[in-house]
Amino acid sequence: MSFDEFRDNEKHSENISVKKSTFNSVIVGLIIAVGIAAFLSGSYVSELNSDQITEKDLDEALAKMELKLLQNQLPTKQAAVAPIKISADDDPIMGNPNAPITIIEFSDFQCPFCARFHTQTLPLIFEEYIDQGKVKLIFRDFPIQSIHPNALPASVAAECANEQSKFREMHDMLFEKQNEWNKLATADAISLFSKYASDMQLQQGVFDTCLTSGKYIEEIKNDLNEGREYGVSGTPGFFVGNDEIGYVELKGAQPFESFKKVIDIQLDT
C-alpha cells in the first residue's frame, strides 16, 4: 500500500477528534474541593486524624483521589472485574523491557503537542523512571493524516530506523526537527528523512528502500485501528500500568507531575 492509498482510505474512516486536553479545570477544582471537605469533615480520619497534618499528607490524599478518578476501571484486589489490558503489539520499546510499569503511547510525529511532550516531559520521565529501570515506554503510531500529511511517512521512517536499532535516534530527530519538515510537500519530507538517516550513519540503501516501499504502512495502520478501539481520539494518548493492575489513561501532553502521580502509586501497588 502506498502513502497516497493509505491517505485515501483514511478519508473514509470515522472523523478523528484532534482536540487536545489536560485535566479539565473544573475537575481539578472539584478534586481539591472534595479533598479539603473530606479532610475537614474527618472522612480521612484513619490517615489524617492528628494535629500534625502536613501539606505533604494532604497532597498525597488528593493525589490518591485524583488517581481514583483516572483509574475508575481498575480493579481492587477484591474485585472480580478483569484488569483493562492494552496491547503493546511488537512496537519499539524505550527502557528496560522488564520494567514493572509500562507507558503505551499513541503518537503522531507531526503533532505539535506530541513534540512538546517529547522535548519537555519525556526527558524528566527518563531521568526519574526509565533510566532507573522502573518504567518502559512503548511507542505506537497514530498518524492523523487528515491534518498531518507527513505523519505517516515519518512513522515509516522511524520504523525503518528501528530495523537498524536506531529508533530512538530517529524518534528524537523527528520531534526535535519537526518545524523543519512538517510543512514540506510529502516528497520533500521523505527526502529529508533520508538525510536524517545519513546523519545517523544508517545503511543508506537499506533505509531508503524501506522508506520508499511503504514497508510498515500495514503495521502503522494496525496501531491506528487498535488505538481507536481503545478510545484514542487525539494525540498524544497514553496508557500507564501493566496487565496485572490494568492501565490508567492520560490524554494530551500532560505535564510530568501527572505521570508522576500515576506511576508512583502504581509502583507502590
- Cβ partners under 8 Å of residue 218, min gap 6: 1
Rg of the chain on CA atoms, in Å? 21
- 10 Å CB burial of residue 114 (0-12, 13-18, 19+) is buried
CB 101 within 8 A of CB 135: yes
| Main-chain phi, psi angles of 94, to 5 degrees | -110, 125
What is the DSSP pairing of strand 101-107 with strand 237-242?
Answer: antiparallel
Which residue is listed with cell 530495523? Answer: 163
Domain ranges of the chain: 3-19+78-267
User: What does each of the 269 residues of the chain score in pLDDT, given as a tens digit?
Assistant: 656 656 555 554 433 333 333 333 333 343 333 333 333 332 232 333 334 455 555 555 555 555 555 545 443 333 334 567 898 888 999 999 999 999 999 999 999 999 999 999 999 999 999 999 999 999 999 999 999 999 999 999 999 999 999 999 999 999 999 999 999 999 999 999 999 999 999 999 999 999 999 899 999 999 999 999 999 999 999 999 999 999 999 999 999 999 999 999 999 87
Per-residue b/e over 194-210, b at no fewer than 16 CB within 10 Å?
A: bebbeeeebeeeebbeb
* Domain range 3-19+78-267, its CATH number among 3.90.420.10, 3.40.30.10, 3.90.79.10, 3.40.1620.10: 3.40.30.10
Q: Which of 216, 213, 243, 247 is nearest to 232 (CA)?
A: 247
